[in-house]
Amino acid sequence: FERGFGTTVGNSLRRVLLSSLTGAAIVSVKIEGVLHEFSTIPGVTEDVTDIILNVKKTRLKLHADKTKTIHLRKKGPGIAKAGDIEHDADIEILTPDLHLATLDKGAHLDMEMIIKRGRGYVPAERNKEEEMAIGVLPVDALYSPVTRVNYLVENARVGRMTDYDKLILEVYTDGSISPEEALSDAALIVRGHLDIFINVKDMEETISRPAVAESITESNKNLLRSVNELELSVRAANCLKNANIKTIADLVQKTEADMLRTKNFGKKSLNEIKEILSEMGLGLGMKLDHLSDGGSEKREE
């Protein structure tokens, strides 16, 4: 990224990853013989409040959009775990070893839980329904599949230029989606919220403004630089030389297919070039028809 954008992008993605992704969670619990959360259950070590706190930690994956009901039926002596929950094929329990309650000999625990899809964090008060049956206890719902996000911005060097930002993201999930999927979803959410500020007419007018024009001019300067400044490996540099690719502008107008047709040019060299261009905000397959008049470059589909 250009200097300063690493922090801007990293902070935005972190906030969205932690608060805005869709997931599934338990929203209410009904325990046989219990009317409120301050009750106790004969033969069960934990009181109802502790059981609900444990239930809230249950992580699961829902393969359907509709509300689902699951059950836990356990007789003592023994430990009731999340893996003991009865469910259908649309549900995966991701924390089967999670401790829910400890039962003495002769004790019986029968719970009914409701699962919904949602986004972010929803407190128990908002999970209350007007016609909720007596004994149904609403639960705080943590829908986000992302459990932790860290980001770090380091100085990056591209060729002889050292004023770039390198963004390192550390993403942890509950297993319902991969960190890569979570990051992709977060980026789509950020982009979707920015789209409302953009339309073609406004974009054309904006390009004429000094700040944006300066950014585009900086991009154009990179395009005019020699590929020798990219400090590529010997093999990649020789391939570009043999293909008569002298400037970065010459390079970005080539597609991946064009590059792979170059003699002795393989996937390793391709990935090396793509990574360096990406750090400059560029890529292969770009159209530079309007480069001379300060317009925006376009990427070929």
How far is it, in rounded angstroms, from Cα 144 to Cα 148? 10
Burial 40-59 (b: 16+ CB within 10 A, else e): ebebbebebeebbebbeebb
Domain count, the chain: 2
Answer with the one of 104, 122, 142 that is the final residue of a domain: 142
Do 121 and 207 sit in the same domain of this protein? no
* Domain membership flag for residue 164: no
Q: Which of 177, 172, 168, 134 is nearest to 34 (CA)?
A: 134
Query: Nearest Cα to 240, choosing from 219, 220, 269?
Result: 269
CB 83 within 8 A of CB 50: no
The beta strands (E) that lie in 104-216 are given as 108-119, 121-122, 136-138, 141-142, 146-158, 161-173
| pLDDT recorded at residue 300 | 47
Q: Which of 119, 142, 165 is a domain's end point?
A: 142
Whether 189 maps to a domain, the answer reads no
Assess whether 27 and 138 both reside in one domain.
Answer: yes
Give the separation between CA 85 and CA 71, rounded to whole angstroms.
6
User: 243 lies in a domain?
Assistant: yes
Q: Which residues pair with 75 in a beta bridge?
A: 108
**Of 125, 142, 159, which one is at a domain's C-terminal end?**
142
CATH number, domain at 211? 1.10.150.20
- Is residue 169 situated within a structural domain? no
Please indicate, yes or no, whether residues 301 and 210 belong to a single structural domain of this protein: yes
Residue-number span of the structural domain to which 251 is assigned = 200-301
Give pLDDT, residue 221.
67
Mean pLDDT for each 10-residue chunk of the chain (301 residues)? Answer: 83 90 90 84 89 91 87 89 89 91 90 89 83 85 91 80 84 91 89 72 50 48 80 85 87 86 84 84 74 46 42
Rounded-to-integer distance, Cα 168 and Cα 170, Å: 7
Do 130 and 228 lie in one domain? The reply is no
The enclosing domain of 64 has a CATH number of 2.170.120.12
pLDDT (0 to 100) of residue 37: 81
